[in-house]
Amino acid sequence: MHESTERKNSTFITQGNLAKLRIPPKKEYHEDVLDNYYWTLNLARRRMKLSISQLAESTGINTSILESIEKGKIPENFIEIFLKLEKFLSIKLLKSHKNKLSFIRNRDEEKEILNNVKDRMGLSKPNKDNSEEPGKKEQLDKISKGEIDFSRRDNISNITLDDLVGMKKEKESRLVRTKAKAREDTMIGDDLELDIDEL
């Protein structure tokens, strides 16, 4: 008897706790809107490291509207709002609307983008400042020969990480060339000297 009352009490407590849980409202859907519009918006906003209020300030859309969109509610004039969000965040929220890419950039942005790409590809020209530093070339030569003591900061004061990366790339390319040369020599074999006059 005592056991059954304990079960009833625990059942009531469990039911009470379940009643307290908030079941999120169902997401709203529209035929012109992508199914996961709320997730796409939330993810794009977080990737740009923006809060909802910062996004609202940048786009001119009310904060409460943005919060409701991220919760899965579609506002009344959603096409205009979604177009603003698509343009600002470079995402797609509408099914029938194609993303319009903007290729208009000023000269400084273009140069910065090109320089970043060149740096990543390793095509950028070395800085003249690096080559003019006194003793840098000698230090790099000593490093490549293994004659420098890395425990002393004075020995490597002028050397940058880019210099070391450049040395590594140069060493790897030399290794690849020597391996290719060795493979070529084994395929071709030794040169034979023929005396044509004797034949």
What is the model's pLDDT at position 198? 55
* 0.75 surpassed by pTM: no
Q: Are the CB atoms for 66 and 55 separated by under 8 Å?
A: yes
Q: Are the CB atoms for 194 and 188 separated by under 8 Å?
A: no
The domain locations on the chain are 7-99, 108-188
**pLDDT > 70 in the chain, percent:** 73
Rounded average pLDDT over 73-81: 89
What is the model's pLDDT at position 13? 81
Rounded average pLDDT over 65-87: 91
User: Mean of the per-residue pLDDT values for the chain?
Assistant: 78
Confidence grade of residue 3 (pLDDT, cut at 50, 70, 90): low
CATH architecture of 7-99: Orthogonal Bundle (1.10)
d(CA 175, CA 169) in angstroms, rounded, equals 10
Rounded average pLDDT over 134-160: 72
Higher pLDDT, 159 or 194: 159
What is the model's pLDDT at position 131? 47
Confidence grade of residue 6 (pLDDT, cut at 50, 70, 90): low
What is the model's pLDDT at position 195? 62
Tell me: pLDDT of 189 over 50: yes
What's the pLDDT tens digit per position in 105-129? Answer: 566 777 888 888 888 777 665 554 4
What is the model's pLDDT at position 128? 46
**pLDDT > 90 in the chain, percent:** 22
Confidence grade of residue 183 (pLDDT, cut at 50, 70, 90): confident
What's the pLDDT tens digit per position in 22-61? Answer: 777 788 888 888 889 999 999 999 999 999 999 999 999 9
